[in-house]
């Protein structure tokens, strides 16, 4: 693998030099007031990225998976019921975590490639007359399949059912890259990580809790120590963490927030949509199809591309890495060997994306797939030139 080439995995994403330099800092006393001057602007900045004026932000030394656990353990109790759709590897893993914590999970099985059905959620919530369901889980962007779900529609379904459950959203591969409105969509706990839209190394679990979620914290009885937001609250009040914080990553996060806001969130989202649309034009020119079943669920951060029946899609990823030093994503779970994934999020430009499409084409042609060399690149070029 060449460190000179950009990566096209869905995360960790390419790191801008400014962020790498921000993380590279001298040791400071994390119990001094100096740390507070770094911490609080970051907490406020994350809230702005989440588009929330009311959320309390908690940042843990972890990953998005730790963010899932933070959401569950701080608001729920053993035996509580949660409602979740399983439509990909990451929604499956969140369900598995719930079950391991002793929660009862009402699962809506959803074909991989489809988004979450708000109508199915509404039906389940209307049937829950005793309000046993305490939380609704939704993966905004299913990284394994390249599928986004309509979170605003899920909140509307909850409201239509007049159900008091909390809404937890996995925004690991969407926040900072795709439109996300924590307050506007009525999200109670938003979860993301540092290594996707924030363009940092893995190492931070980033969460936002609504006032409604905060009100559930004291009554929750699931075990929590490292991820206890009450301890984190006390630490923040004293300009500190309850344990040693990842100071360099937090400093890098400040730079990432500055970069996103300097570009403008609307411009960031438009850039991701443009780059993703170019990829979709390339896929069509290759004569291939996305795992995502319809345009309304196409992800702007990752495309999972189906290969012909009987062809092991993992070979494309392996060959691209070995022959050309470039990284793409393999298929996971139910679509392992059936798709390869092109990540197009974070620090990425049209020009960088064209290089990835060119290598993907070369790898597929090398492996004998019926792809015309240059066809996908040309289709993407035409879109990037004209925007249509």
pLDDT digits (tens, 9 = 90+) for 336-366: 999 999 999 999 999 999 999 999 999 999 9
Backbone dihedral region for residue 133 (phi beyond 0: left; psi -120 to 50: alpha; all else: beta):
beta
Per residue in 157-166, pLDDT (tens digit) is 999 999 999 9
- Helix, coil or strand: residue 99: helix
Which domains are seen in the chain, by residue range? Answer: 18-262 (3.40.640.10), 265-386 (3.90.1150.10)
Q: pLDDT at residue 3 above 90?
A: no
Looking at residue 388, its pLDDT comes to: 58
Distances (CA, A) of 255 to 40, 95, 109, 219, 240: 14, 33, 40, 37, 20
- Where would I find the beta strands (DSSP E) of the chain? 56-62, 81-86, 104-109, 133-139, 141-142, 147-148, 166-170, 189-193, 203-209, 289-290, 302-306, 329-330, 339-343
Separation of alpha carbons 355 and 377, rounded Å? 8
Identify the residue whose tokens are 């569950």: 72
The vertex-139 CA angle with 315 and 317, nearest 5°, equals 10
User: Contact at 8 Å (CB) between 146 and 291?
Assistant: yes
Per residue in 98-139, pLDDT (tens digit) is 999 999 999 999 999 999 999 999 999 999 999 999 999 999
Separation of alpha carbons 41 and 43, rounded Å? 6
pTM for the full model?
Answer: 0.96
Looking at residue 28, its pLDDT comes to: 86
Query: Across residues 87-96, what is the average pLDDT?
Result: 97
Is the link from the previous residue into 149 a cis peptide, with omega within 30 of 0?
no
Separation of alpha carbons 200 and 197, rounded Å? 8
The closest alpha carbon to 178, from 195, 166, 196, belongs to: 196
Q: pLDDT at residue 171 above 80?
A: yes
Looking at residue 387, its pLDDT comes to: 74
Could you give the percent of the chain with pLDDT greater than 70? 99
The vertex-24 CA angle with 22 and 27, nearest 5°, equals 110
Separation of alpha carbons 269 and 174, rounded Å? 10
Query: Across residues 152-156, what is the average pLDDT?
Result: 98
Question: Which H helix or E strand runs over 315?
Answer: helix 314-324
Q: By CB neighbour count within 10 A (0-12 exposed, 13-18 middle, 19+ buried), where does 79 fall? A: exposed
Per residue in 179-232, pLDDT (tens digit) is 999 999 999 999 999 999 999 999 999 999 999 999 999 999 999 999 999 999
Beta-bridge mates of residue 83: 106, 136
Separation of alpha carbons 71 and 41, rounded Å? 23
Compute the radius of gyration of the chain from its Cα atoms.
21
Q: pLDDT at residue 94 above 70?
A: yes
Distances (CA, A) of 273 to 24, 320, 364: 31, 25, 25
Separation of alpha carbons 232 and 224, rounded Å? 12
User: Contact at 8 Å (CB) between 301 and 141?
Assistant: yes
User: Contact at 8 Å (CB) between 55 and 209?
Assistant: yes
Joined together, the tokens standing for residue 361 give 């084409």
Looking at residue 32, its pLDDT comes to: 87
Q: pLDDT at residue 65 above 80?
A: yes
The order of strands in the sheet holding 56-62 is 56-62, 203-209, 189-193, 166-170, 133-139, 81-86, 104-109
Q: Where are the alpha helices (DSSP H) in 50-87?
A: 64-73
Please state, rounded to an integer, the average pLDDT across all residues of the chain: 97
Q: How confident is the model at residue 1 (pLDDT cuts 50, 70, 90)?
A: low
Q: How confident is the model at residue 386 (pLDDT cuts 50, 70, 90)?
A: confident
The vertex-303 CA angle with 382 and 199, nearest 5°, equals 95
């Amino acid at each position: 693998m060449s460190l000179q080439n950009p990566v096209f995995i869905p995360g960790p994403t390419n790191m801008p030099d400014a962020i790498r330099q921000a993380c590279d800092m001298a040791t400071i006393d994390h119990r001094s007031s100096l740390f507070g001057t770094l911490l609080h602007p970051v907490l406020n900045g994350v809230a702005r990225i989440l588009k929330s004026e009311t959320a309390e932000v908690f940042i843990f030394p972890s990953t998005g998976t730790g963010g899932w656990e933070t959401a569950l353990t701080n608001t729920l109790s053993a035996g509580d019921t949660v409602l979740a759709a399983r439509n990909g590897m990451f929604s499956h893993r969140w369900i598995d975590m719930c079950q391991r914590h002793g929660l009862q999970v009402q699962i809506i099985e959803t074909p991989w490639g489809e988004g979450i059905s708000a109508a199915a959620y509404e039906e389940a919530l209307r049937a829950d007359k005793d309000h046993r369901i305490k939380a609704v889980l939704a993966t905004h962007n299913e990284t394994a399949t390249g599928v986004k779900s309509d979170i605003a529609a899920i909140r509307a379904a909850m409201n239509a059912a007049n159900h008091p459950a909390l809404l937890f959203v996995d925004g690991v591969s969407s926040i900072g890259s795709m439109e996300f409105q924590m307050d506007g969509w009525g999200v109670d706990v938003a979860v993301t990580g540092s290594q996707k839209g924030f363009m940092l190394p893995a190492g931070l679990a980033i969460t936002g809790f609504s006032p409604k979620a905060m009100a559930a914290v004291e009554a929750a009885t699931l075990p929590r120590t490292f991820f206890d937001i009450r301890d984190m609250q006390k630490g923040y009040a004293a300009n500190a963490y309850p344990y040693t914080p990842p100071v360099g990553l937090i400093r890098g996060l400040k730079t990432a927030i500055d970069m996103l806001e300097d570009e403008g969130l609307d411009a960031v989202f438009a850039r991701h949509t443009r780059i993703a649309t170019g990829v979709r034009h390339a896929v069509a020119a290759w004569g291939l199809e996305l795992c995502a079943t319809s345009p309304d669920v196409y992800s702007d951060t990752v495309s999972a591309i189906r290969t012909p029946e009987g062809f092991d899609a993992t070979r494309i990823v392996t060959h691209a890495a070995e022959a050309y030093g470039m990284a793409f994503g393999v298929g996971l779970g139910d679509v392992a060997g059936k798709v390869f994934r092109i990540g197009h999020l974070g620090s990425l430009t049209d020009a960088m994306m064209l290089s990835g499409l060119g290598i993907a084409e070369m790898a597929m042609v090398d492996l004998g797939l019926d792809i015309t060399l240059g066809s996908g690149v040309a289709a993407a070029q035409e879109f990037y030139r004209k925007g249509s």
